[in-house]
Amino acid sequence: MNREFIGNRLRQAREKANLSRDHVTAIKDIGISRTTLQQWEMGQREASLETLAKLAKLYQVSPQWLIFGEGDSTAQAPAPATNPSLEAPAKHVIFDEEFVLIPMYDIEVSAGNGLFSQGVTEPIKHVAYRKDWIKSKGLDPYHLAVVCNNGDSMETTIPNGSCMLINLLKNQAFDGNIYIIRLDDRIFVKRTQWIPTGGLRIISDNPIYEPFDLDKAYLASDDFEVCGEVIEISHIIH
């Protein structure tokens, strides 16, 4: 990334938004000093991608334009597939030369008895994945999200507090895979298995939790949804 070019766009975007440096640095979520912002705008220092993403949101400009100078400053990302349970994150994805920054949402997915799901539209941070790794997995970065697990029913596969990369395009359950599923207004992470009756068995990897079955009628109702497949599990400090 070229610090001087980014600095020019930072200054242009801030001035277009009618914000002074003092206004920007007074925002706690941005978390920078006036001197630091001035150095970024003058190309003397390099800002982190996560902070640039926050500034792009504040200035109401495209992150791709602000960081790389690509496209129109107000251009939007491709429209994602609709997903009622996890906000589709296409507009929040950021690209670097080597990395894709995938949005992480403040949704604690239950691996126990379930947590009530609240509507979430904005990421709390971004998690970096290498572009070549994303490509090798055949993943579309515009349909990925990171969420965290709360509970022990999927241990030892998914320890309590782990974060999971979710492929939001995978909304059909297959035997043996792990999915984020919605049951009524609660979000779970579970393994699935189809049963001869046409129902779906919901399985916890921790043997102290009994599996339970969902019948065909429930699967066809609005109370059930496969939100996405768990692709990768990691420990992230958040």
- Answer whether residue 98 is part of any domain: yes
Tell me, yes or no, whether 80 lies in a domain.
no
The sign of the dihedral angle between the CA atoms of 129, 130, 132, 133 is: negative
Domain co-membership, 22 together with 114? no
Domain identity same for 22 and 131: no
Q: Is residue 30 in a domain?
A: yes
d(Cα 202, Cα 185) in Å, to the nearest integer? Answer: 16
CB 203 within 8 A of CB 192: yes
Give the pLDDT confidence score for residue 82 in this predicted structure.
43
Residues 37 and 149 in one domain: no
pLDDT tens, position by position, 39-58: 999 999 988 887 888 888 88
Specify the number of domains making up the chain.
Answer: 2
What SS3 state is found at 174? coil
Identify the domain containing residue 63 by its residue range.
3-68
Query: CA 237, CA 161: separation in Å to the nearest integer?
Result: 9
| 99 and 47 assigned to the same domain | no
* Per-residue pLDDT at 126: 84
CATH of the domain at 143: 2.10.109.10
Q: Are 150 and 193 in the same domain?
A: yes
Instruction: Count CA atoms within 13 Å of residue 90 on its CB side.
Output: 15
Residues belonging to the chain? 238
Q: What is the CATH number of the domain that holds 46?
A: 1.10.260.40
* Residues 113 and 187 both lie in one domain: yes
Among the listed residues 144, 168, 149, 174, the one whose alpha carbon sits nearest the alpha carbon of residue 233: 149
Separation CA 81–CA 207 (nearest Å): 35
Clarify whether residues 57 and 128 are in a common domain. Answer: no
- Residue 217 has what pLDDT? 94
Going from the first residue of the chain to its last (238 residues), give the mean pLDDT of each consecutive group of 10, the final group possibly shorter: 85 88 81 91 87 84 79 50 49 75 81 52 81 90 88 92 91 94 89 94 95 95 92 75
Domain boundary among 34, 68, 102: 68
In a domain, 121, yes or no: yes
107 within a domain of the structure (yes/no): yes
Q: What is the pLDDT of residue 165?
A: 95
pTM: 0.64
Q: For residues 7 and 45, what is the distance between their CA atoms, to the nearest angstrom?
A: 9
Same structural domain, 159 and 58:
no
pLDDT of the residue at 78: 43
Say if residue 46 is in the same domain as residue 99.
Answer: no
**Looking at 68, 101, 123, which one is the last position of a domain?**
68
Residue 74: inside a domain = no
| Same structural domain, 129 and 228 | yes
Q: How far apart are CA 104 and CA 129, in angstroms?
A: 12
Q: Which residues of 55-66 are buried (b: 16+ CB within 10 A; e: fewer)?
A: bbbbbebbbbbb
